Amino acid sequence: MAEGEGRIFLRGLSSETYGLGEFRRRQRAADRVRRAGTVVDDASVGHSGDSDQSRTSWMLGPGDDPFLTQTLQVHFVELLPGGANHGHGHQNEACFYILEGKGYEIHDGVRYDWEKDDFAIVHTDCVHKHYNANEDVRALALVMKAKTNWMAMGLWQQGRSGPFEAKGFGPREDWSKLWTPGAAQKKKVVRKSDTRWENTRDGRVRIISSPEKTDVRTNSVDVYQQEIPSGGKSAKHWHMADEAVYVMSGKGHSLHWEVEAEIAEKYYARVAEKPSRWNFSPGDLVYIPQNTVHQHVNDGDEPLLFLSAQNRLFKQLGYDNVVYLEDASAPKQKAAATA
């Protein structure tokens, strides 16, 4: 649960010594699988969007105890049949993967429709409201965002829609004057049909949001979907960004090899000889810490399907590479029976 009475937007870092080894040790020691149904924050404090027709349940964020990350925040938004939440605005982006239902958004007065398996983006500095278009069943979205990027830079102006009450300010100016030219022309909803499955060194993936998708209006979160066949496994690979993996279907385990820095005449990496193992099932959220070698394995009889989210800022900081220590593998085919 979140610490104290209020909501933690950004966790502070402090130490009696120059190093932060103890902080890293505590992070590594925490359970990396948030089980289906886990709520670390029920949105009862410090959240703006919920109404009596909507619910928010948080799975990952900077206020968690034990602490995992403030790089990524992951939560669910549920809209009851025919329901909507409150109109509100925040400076940070938010990316919604639609798990169930059909509905639409109103963003800055413009309507954007969505349905299951679409990816909807609340852009920077957006006043938005979510609507369930179905009167009989709920709509459910998994929300992935890098809100702490904005918090760390002092971009804190957020709240519910309402009258302007501050005194001593002049007439309205168009806020969008500050946006990068061309931002408003980019895609706000990525349809499943807008993407394609690809066979890569990591296995079968469908990239939804990345720096290469320059027509998509997100700058902060990279998302892909991956499918691993029964008995198969992903690549054993290494990147600096931490990662949140939401298990949509199937079961298996994730192997994590810790990486330590040897600081000599330059930085060297030392990879653990043995991995830790983290078992998961449908609806679980698997967290992979920064700078961790990892691999996912399908232990079930059905395909393993999951969503992966990373904070794009790592790429902007100079860590735009993936090291493959072992390529993905499919299960070995059984030999044909002979008469």
Q: Write down the pLDDT at residue 1.
A: 43
Question: d(Cα 53, Cα 159) in Å, to the nearest integer?
Answer: 19
| Residues facing residue 259 across a β-bridge | 271
Structural domain includes residue 295: yes
Q: Write down the pLDDT at residue 335.
A: 46
Q: Write down the pLDDT at residue 137.
A: 97
Q: Cβ-count burial of 257 within 10 angstroms (0-12 exposed, 13-18 middle, 19+ buried)?
A: middle
| Residues facing residue 96 across a β-bridge | 120, 143
Structural domain includes residue 179: no
Q: Write down the pLDDT at residue 278.
A: 98
The two structure tokens encoding residue 324: 């493959």
DSSP label at residue 219: S
Structural domain includes residue 55: yes
Q: Cβ-count burial of 334 within 10 angstroms (0-12 exposed, 13-18 middle, 19+ buried)?
A: exposed
239 touches 270 (CB < 8 A):
no
266 touches 190 (CB < 8 A):
no
238 touches 325 (CB < 8 A):
yes
Structural domain includes residue 317: yes
Q: Write down the pLDDT at residue 294.
A: 98
Structural domain includes residue 138: yes
Structural domain includes residue 6: no
Structural domain includes residue 174: no
Q: Write down the pLDDT at residue 162.
A: 87
Q: Write down the pLDDT at residue 206.
A: 98
61 touches 7 (CB < 8 A):
no
Element (H, E) at 191: none
Question: d(Cα 41, Cα 31) in Å, to the nearest integer?
Answer: 17
Q: Count the domains in the chain.
A: 1
Q: What would the DSSP string read from start to end of 106-174?
A: EETTEEEEEETT-EEEE-TTEEEEEEE--SSS-EEEEEEE-HHHHHHTT----EES-----SS--S---
In angstroms, what CA-CA distances link 13 with 31, 60, 247, 280?
21, 18, 31, 30
DSSP label at residue 177: G
Structural domain includes residue 181: no
The two structure tokens encoding residue 21: 């080894």
81: domain CATH number is: 2.60.120.10
Amino acid identity, residue 192?
K
104 touches 114 (CB < 8 A):
yes
Question: d(Cα 78, Cα 64) in Å, to the nearest integer?
Answer: 21
Domain that holds residue 142: 21-160+188-326
- pLDDT tens track, the chain, 339 positions: 444 568 899 999 888 888 888 889 999 999 999 999 999 988 888 887 888 999 999 999 998 989 999 999 999 999 999 999 998 999 999 999 999 999 999 999 999 999 999 999 999 999 999 999 999 999 999 999 999 999 999 999 999 888 999 999 999 999 999 999 999 999 999 999 999 999 999 999 999 999 999 999 999 999 999 999 999 999 999 999 999 999 999 999 999 999 999 999 999 999 999 999 999 999 999 999 999 999 999 999 999 999 999 999 999 999 999 999 999 998 765 444 433
Q: Which of 55, 111, 57, 61 is nearest to 85 (CA)?
A: 55
Q: Cβ-count burial of 22 within 10 angstroms (0-12 exposed, 13-18 middle, 19+ buried)?
A: exposed
3-state secondary structure of 3: coil
Confidence (pTM): 0.94
The two structure tokens encoding residue 326: 């072992």
